[in-house]
């Protein structure tokens, strides 16, 4: 029934109509205000970073015990959210799912923006950012940080290619549409070699297939290795064999939440109802429910056994999380960022666009705070008691500079997605046309 | 390079003996100009010395010149360590009353930021009905150092004499080592240390003395190899009036707090020495003697504590 409706809608679309619908459009007032706000937030973050460069990390609230704060949790968040690129583009593509085509580019640009800002925010956290090159001239393979640098760089390159190669046929369409305009030169520079010959199509298909296969292990690696930055230490709350899988499950959930939010926003403001249909929200909603269940499972797995044992070294940490100073945040993240969205999306009405948007926001915000809860509480529960240190060393609440930089980086990632959508088609034009033709063919 | 090392080693080996003999000599003369003073008046009084090849020789007292402070070894030499040594510390918990002179001495000599400390003293109590005691901690100089394992740039390294050091000129300030260390022994220079003068800050950094501490890098106890090269004890050892810290070489099987010297193996055996959190597999080079038959009641230490327990 639904499938019939879906093809009926597509049936009424001509190739030309698809092109004009999907070509990037100028922003309206709301789009402009949104962009300006993001730019301002980025500038405030940049200003705070300049201050940090001058004075040192003393401008943060991090001290010897809470030696990692929201910079690191923000880094983990960015890596997590970028994983969705591989889920939608690779996992769904390889399993022969076609309905996700209009979502691939949204997922891929979120991946590129996420991984870019993950790399930037990790440099912000360094005490000596000007020595970043030491990682390359003195790098030691034994260190999980070097593993992380390696896989994140690889993931970045593959993600860029997975964004770029499928963009080539669209680049040709955009060149035709933008003759004589400012952006023409950019499109020409990026894609003038694409002639659309059968040979080029064959090569591009092959390349995307290879990349889609390659990105799956790399995606698993980036987040598993990121979890190992914690799990390779002895500390209560990090010393866990569950950490890799726990991080991956959480990352897919966070990324899918972000895609749901982006789907809603692009559909509404770019008027893409014919391309991102209720059907898409329904299917994406079901995927999110599955991922939330998976994440719930890994959460239970992560906490039930240590709580059952209540080892002396872990008791203070676990109490802090479940009933102590971190409990309000912890339960908000678990209930608001996982359980409530999951129950919402269990119902067909919950999988309509607007409820999906709300659920997506809850998931993403919950995910951000969950990352904070993974990083900092552990550091505030060391093996030896915190004693005879200044009072500020025993607690952590991010300073203005940290908030400004963290928010600036989030705004920066959103700005990348926004500007991309301004200058490139957020839904693949050529692929949509081709799939329509295929469907018509099947229909006859 | 190799020949240099050998001669240096020999030179150092004779240093302690020479140093003792030279104690009475004038320190105003520049020892490097000894060759110029060809008309030194011989006193006729002979002094017995141990030569570099192990022979006892006699030298006229007038020819003896004081040895100046050696320049610090280069940072690439500091990565190798002092050949043939394996340094060890024994901390006798029955002697500590939280005076924290160790901390004071260490902070002063290393010009550590006033908020930070490499030597920390913790009030400890194992269980509900067990007795409290004071536990000083320094870097454990682990033989399986978790901090060295995770360092991405080899800024913190393990030497063949067992010491774990930091090259502050290489450290990128990622603080992974701080997360990895279970003993909370590492500190971070969140800003330029308030105790480092502009003049001191200009000095080249030495891995063996860990001076000057630099903004945005990690610091920690270095086991004072620079003092060892001078034939002296680490600052915490000599600062403690109660003789809590014993420092020595496990290969020589001896440890000393300056006033008393023990066979390391006998001390550990007789007093039932142990290592901190050795169940983690870190193999620390610091040993503790249990706080049995204590010299001071625990409460005595509370007077010196800034913090309510």
Q: Tell me if A106 is assigned to some domain.
A: yes
Which residues are within 8 A (CB) of A33 and not within 5 positions of it... i.e. 6 or more apart?
none
Residue A394 contacts B where some CB pair is shorter than 8 Å: no
For the segment B109-126, the average pLDDT, to the nearest whole number, is 95
Better-predicted residue by pLDDT, B209 or A6: B209
Q: Tell me if A311 is assigned to some domain.
A: yes
Residues 121-160 of A with CB under 8 A from B: 125-129, 131-132, 134-135, 138-140, 142-146, 149
For the segment A97-123, the average pLDDT, to the nearest whole number, is 93
Does residue B18 surpass a pLDDT of 50? no
- Give the pLDDT band of residue A444 (cuts 50, 70, 90): low
pLDDT of residue B26: 43
Residues A340-366 have pLDDT tens digits of 999 999 999 999 999 999 999 999 999
Does residue A4 surpass a pLDDT of 50? no
pLDDT of residue B22: 43
For the segment B266-277, the average pLDDT, to the nearest whole number, is 97
- A127 and B146 within 8 Å at the Cβ level: the answer is no
Can you give the pTM of this predicted structure?
0.88
Does residue A302 surpass a pLDDT of 60? yes
- Give the pLDDT band of residue A12 (cuts 50, 70, 90): low
- B216 and A126 within 8 Å at the Cβ level: the answer is yes
Please give the Cα distance from A120 to A134 (Å, whole number).
16
Better-predicted residue by pLDDT, B93 or B60: B93
* Chain A residues within 8 A of B182 when measuring between CB atoms: 233-235, 382-383
Residues 196-235 of A with CB under 8 A from B: 229-230, 232-235
For the segment B213-227, the average pLDDT, to the nearest whole number, is 96
- Domain chopping of chain B, boundaries: 2-63, 75-299
pLDDT of residue A178: 85
- Give the pLDDT band of residue A11 (cuts 50, 70, 90): low
Does residue B7 surpass a pLDDT of 60? no
Better-predicted residue by pLDDT, A96 or A120: A120
B149, B155, B191 ranked by CB distance to A56: nearest = B191
* Chain B residues within 8 A of A388 when measuring between CB atoms: 117, 120-121, 305-307
Instruction: Please tell me whether the interface predicted TM-score (ipTM) of this complex is above 0.95.
Output: no
Residues A260-275 have pLDDT tens digits of 999 999 999 999 999 9
- Give the pLDDT band of residue B46 (cuts 50, 70, 90): confident
* Chain A residues within 8 A of B217 when measuring between CB atoms: 127-128
- B189 and A56 within 8 Å at the Cβ level: the answer is yes
pLDDT of residue B28: 46
What Cα–Cα distance (Å) separates residue A271 from each residue in A4, A26, A35, A356, B1?
22, 13, 19, 17, 74
Does residue B81 surpass a pLDDT of 80? yes
Indicate the CATH number for domain B75-299. 3.30.70.20
Residues B292-305 have pLDDT tens digits of 999 999 998 888 88
B115, B152, B217 ranked by CB distance to A146: nearest = B152
- B180 and A232 within 8 Å at the Cβ level: the answer is yes
pLDDT of residue A431: 87
Residue A328, domain CATH: 1.20.1630.10
Q: Tell me if A51 is assigned to some domain.
A: yes
Find, in chain B, the residue whose alpha carbon is nearest to that of A388.
B307
Containing domain of residue A411, as a range? Answer: 2-385+405-438
Residues 167-196 of A with CB under 8 A from B: none
Does residue A19 surpass a pLDDT of 80? yes
- A132 and B305 within 8 Å at the Cβ level: the answer is no
Give how far B122 is from chain A: nearest CA, Å.
Answer: 6
Q: Tell me if A76 is assigned to some domain.
A: yes
Split into its structural domains, chain A has a count of 1
Better-predicted residue by pLDDT, A25 or B184: B184
Does residue B13 surpass a pLDDT of 50? no
pLDDT of residue B67: 67
pLDDT of residue B178: 97
Residues A212-252 have pLDDT tens digits of 999 999 999 999 999 999 999 999 999 999 999 999 999 99
- Give the pLDDT band of residue B188 (cuts 50, 70, 90): very high
Does residue B211 surpass a pLDDT of 50? yes
Q: Report how many Cβ contacts below 8 Å link chain A to chain B.
A: 139
**Helices (H), ranges, B157-210:** 176-180, 198-202
Three-class HEC string of chain A: CHHHHHHHHHHCCCHHHHHHHHCCCCCCHHHHHHHHHHHHHHHHHHHHHHHHHHHCHHHCCCCCCCCCCHHHHHHHHHHHHHCHHHHHHHHHHHCCCCCCHHHHHHHHHHHHHHHHHHHHHHHHCCCCHHHCCHHHHCCCCCCHHHHHHHHHHHHHHHHHHHHHHHHHHHHHHHHHHCCCCCCHHHHHHHHCCCCCCHHHHHHHHHHHHHHHHHHHHHHHHHHHHHHHHHHCCCCCCCCCCCHHHHHHHHHHHHHHHHHHHHHHHHHHHCCCCCCCCHHHHHHHHHHHHHHHHHHHHHHHHHHHHHHHHCCHHHHHHHHHHHCCCCHHHHHHHHHHHHHHHHHHHHCHHHHCHHHHHHHHHHHHHHHHHHHHHHHHHHHCCCCCCCCCCCHHHHCCCCCHHHHHHHHHHHHHHHHHHHHHHHHCCCCCHHHHHHHHHHHHHHHC
Q: Tell me if A397 is assigned to some domain.
A: no
* Chain A residues within 8 A of B76 when measuring between CB atoms: none
């Amino acid at each position: 029934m639904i499938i019939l409706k879906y093809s009926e809608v597509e049936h009424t679309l001509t190739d030309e109509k698809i092109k004009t619908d999907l070509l990037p459009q100028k922003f309206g007032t709301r789009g402009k205000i949104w962009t300006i706000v993001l730019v301002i937030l980025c500038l405030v973050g940049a200003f705070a970073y300049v201050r940090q460069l001058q004075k040192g990390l003393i401008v943060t609230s991090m001290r010897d015990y809470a030696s990692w704060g929201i910079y690191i949790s923000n880094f983990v968040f960015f890596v997590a959210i970028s994983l969705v690129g591989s889920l939608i583009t690779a996992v769904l593509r390889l399993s022969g799912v076609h309905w996700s085509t209009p979502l691939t580019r949204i997922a891929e640009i979120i991946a590129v923006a996420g991984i870019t800002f993950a790399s930037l925010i990790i440099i912000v956290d360094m005490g000596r950012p000007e020595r970043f090159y030491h990682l390359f001239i003195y790098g030691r393979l034994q260190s999980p940080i070097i593993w992380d640098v390696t896989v994140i760089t690889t993931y970045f390159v593959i993600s860029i290619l997975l964004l770029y190669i499928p963009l080539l046929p669209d680049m040709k369409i955009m060149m035709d549409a933008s003759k004589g305009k400012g952006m023409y030169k950019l499109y020409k520079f990026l894609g003038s070699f694409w002639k659309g010959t059968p040979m080029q199509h064959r090569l591009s298909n092959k390349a995307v297939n290879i990349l889609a296969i390659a990105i799956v292990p790399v995606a698993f690696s980036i987040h598993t290795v990121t979890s190992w930055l914690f799990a390779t230490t002895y500390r209560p709350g990090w010393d866990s064999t569950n950490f890799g899988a726990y991080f991956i499950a959480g990352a897919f959930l966070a990324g899918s939440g972000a895609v749901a939010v982006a789907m809603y926003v692009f559909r509404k403001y770019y008027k893409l109802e014919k391309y991102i249909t209720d059907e898409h929200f329904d299917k994406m909603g079901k995927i999110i429910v599955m991922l939330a269940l998976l994440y719930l499972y890994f959460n239970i797995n992560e906490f039930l056994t240590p709580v059952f044992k209540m080892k002396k070294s872990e008791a203070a940490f676990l109490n802090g999380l479940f009933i102590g100073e971190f409990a309000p945040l912890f339960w908000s993240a678990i209930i608001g960022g996982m359980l409530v969205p999951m129950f919402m999306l269990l119902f067909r009405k919950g999988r309509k666009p607007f409820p999906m948007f709300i659920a997506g926001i809850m998931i993403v915000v919950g995910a951000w705070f969950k990352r904070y809860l993974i990083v900092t509480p552990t550091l505030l529960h060391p093996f030896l008691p915190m004693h005879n240190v200044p009072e500020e060393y025993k607690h952590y609440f991010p300073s203005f500079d940290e908030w400004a930089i963290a928010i600036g980086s989030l705004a920066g990632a959103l700005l990348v997605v926004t500007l991309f959508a301004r200058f490139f088609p957020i839904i693949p034009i050529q692929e949509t046309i081709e799939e329509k033709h295929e469907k018509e063919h099947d229909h006859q | 390079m190799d020949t240099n090392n050998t001669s240096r080693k020999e030179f150092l080996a004779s240093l302690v003996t020479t140093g003792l003999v030279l104690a009475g000599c004038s320190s105003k003369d520049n020892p490097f100009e000894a060759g110029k003073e060809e008309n030194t008046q011989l006193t006729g009084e002979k002094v017995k010395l141990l030569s570099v090849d192990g022979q006892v020789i006699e030298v006229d007292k007038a020819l003896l010149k004081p040895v100046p402070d050696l320049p610090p070894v280069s940072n690439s030499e500091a990565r190798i360590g002092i050949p043939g040594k394996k340094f060890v510390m024994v901390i006798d918990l029955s002697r500590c009353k939280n005076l924290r002179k160790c901390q004071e001495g260490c902070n002063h000599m290393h010009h550590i930021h006033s908020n930070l400390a490499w030597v920390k003293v913790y009030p400890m109590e194992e269980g509900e009905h067990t007795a409290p005691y004071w536990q000083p901690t320094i870097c454990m100089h682990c033989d399986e150092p978790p901090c060295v394992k995770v360092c991405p740039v080899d800024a913190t390294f393990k030497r063949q004499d067992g010491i774990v050091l930091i090259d502050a000129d290489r450290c990128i300030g990622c603080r992974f080592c701080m997360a990895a260390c279970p003993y909370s022994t590492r500190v971070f220079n969140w800003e330029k240390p308030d105790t480092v003068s502009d003049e001191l800050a200009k000095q080249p950094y030495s891995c063996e003395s860990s001076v000057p501490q630099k903004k945005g890098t990690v610091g920690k106890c270095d086991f004072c190899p620079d003092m060892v090269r001078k034939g002296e004890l680490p600052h915490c050892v000599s600062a403690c009036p109660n003789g809590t810290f014993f420092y020595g070489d496990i290969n020589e099987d001896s440890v000393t707090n300056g006033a008393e010297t023990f066979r390391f193996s006998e001390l550990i055996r007789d007093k039932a020495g142990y290592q901190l959190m050795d169940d983690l597999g870190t193999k620390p080079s610091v040993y503790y003697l249990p706080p049995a038959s204590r010299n001071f009641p625990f409460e005595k230490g509370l007077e010196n504590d800034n913090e309510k327990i």
